[in-house]
Amino acid sequence: MKNLTLKDIAAALDISVTTVSKALQNYPDVSEKTKERVKAYAEKVNFKPNSFAAYLRTHESKTVGIVIPRLNHFFFSSILRGIISEAEKHEYMTFILCSDESYELEKTQINRLLNKNVDGIFLSIADKTHNLSHIQNIMNKGTNLVIFDKYSKLTTCSSIVIDDQKASYTAVEHLIKKGKKRIAHFRGPLLPQNSIDRFLGYRKALEDHGIEYNKDLVFICDEISNREGYDHMQTILDKKLDVDAVFAVADLPAIGAIKCLIENNIKIPEEISVMGFSNWSISSLITPTLSTIDQPGELMGRKAFQVFLEERDAKKRKEPLVFKKYIIETTLIERKST
């Protein structure tokens, strides 16, 4: 049997839908007699008001939306799991939209969510986003916003991030402590802050340990793919560049580098060490296992949702919002590749 709607009740009692709705919500402009009649009937037919009715009452939709740059991505899946599991605990439902790293699509997706009256938006900024007014617009419309992972210094909202510079510094320092001195970096694209910060951490670790920075040992991975890591490694070998370690911006390019080294019969880690970043599950499954930085995605997701709840409650109490940058700790994972 289909769920009865306000319309069905209205038809049965020959009154307007609005009157039914108001009667059930005890509006003062409906007579007591009508209220009783509507409530008695609603009880008789076991009417359950749906969530739209609840929205009209509370002005909360109990939905949130997540916009992530990629769907098929281990790290974002972990964050999703964190946000969704926390959301479910608090009876929120979650829309997932994908920006495909595109600025235009990110704008569209945010507008869709605003149009759905979500109570909050969780966003990881697309690599191609070069203007932030659509993001600022979320706050201007009074919708809560929490940014995670890929953030910008120019947005005024809370964010959940890791300290990319510090984590990257730790990774490179680990290679240096293992005796490596000619460390190449497979960096990410030029725009995103986390890619910049990982590069800065790499450079600072070199400088602090008296190793001269050499820009010829830095290669860009625009797609952060396995293929790019493989190709850059092959370039290093072809050009006979003097390299004894590689620090990659993420695990996939690091895994590509390992594949290339194995095919060229180069010993890992004796001749060339490889260090990743993120600790995707695959990094413990390949041979040799990959040393990397663990980024606790699920924890970041859970924290993001908790921050949303705090800001929601502060708003209800009409308190001014104080935006914070929450830094989630990362851990160095040492495995066979270093």
Contact residues: a second copy, CB under 8 A: 1-3, 16, 18, 29, 48, 50-52, 55-56, 63, 65, 71-74, 77-78, 80-81, 84-85, 88, 93-98, 112-117, 140-142, 226, 255, 259, 262, 281-282, 285-287
Of 45 and 285, nearer to a second copy (C-beta) is: 285
Of 146 and 261, nearer to a second copy (C-beta) is: 261
Q: How far is the CB of 73 from a second copy (least distance, A)?
A: 8
Angle at 252 between CA 250 and CA 253, to 5 degrees: 80
Q: How far is the CB of 264 from a second copy (least distance, A)?
A: 13
Q: How far is the CB of 96 from a second copy (least distance, A)?
A: 5
224, 250 Cβ separation under 8 angstroms: yes
Q: How far is the CB of 80 from a second copy (least distance, A)?
A: 6
Query: What are the residues whose beta carbons fall under 8 Å from the beta carbon of 306, sequence distance 6 or more?
Result: 86
Tell me the three state secondary structure of residue 158: strand
Count of C-beta atoms within a 10 Å radius of residue 10:
17
Q: How far is the CB of 315 from a second copy (least distance, A)?
A: 12
Q: How far is the CB of 62 from a second copy (least distance, A)?
A: 9
Closest CA to 109 of 55, 82, 69, 75: 69
Of 124 and 226, nearer to a second copy (C-beta) is: 226
Q: Which two tokens mark 12?
A: 């049965």
Half-sphere exposure of 27 (CA within 13 A, CB side): 13
Count of C-beta atoms within a 10 Å radius of residue 37:
16
Angle at 330 between CA 278 and CA 292, to 5 degrees: 40
Q: How far is the CB of 279 from a second copy (least distance, A)?
A: 13
Of 142 and 210, nearer to a second copy (C-beta) is: 142
Tell me the three state secondary structure of residue 114: helix
**Is the CA virtual torsion 130, 292, 256, 71 positive or negative?**
negative
Residue 174 Ramachandran class (φ > 0 left, ψ -120 to 50 alpha, else beta):
alpha
Long-range contacts of 321-326 (CB under 8 A, 24+ apart): 323/156, 323/157, 323/158, 324/158, 325/151, 325/158, 325/159, 325/161, 326/158, 326/159, 326/160, 326/161
Of 81 and 204, nearer to a second copy (C-beta) is: 81
Q: How far is the CB of 211 from a second copy (least distance, A)?
A: 30
Of 52 and 213, nearer to a second copy (C-beta) is: 52
Give me the amino acid identity at 331.
Answer: T
Of 63 and 165, nearer to a second copy (C-beta) is: 63
Of 37 and 70, nearer to a second copy (C-beta) is: 70
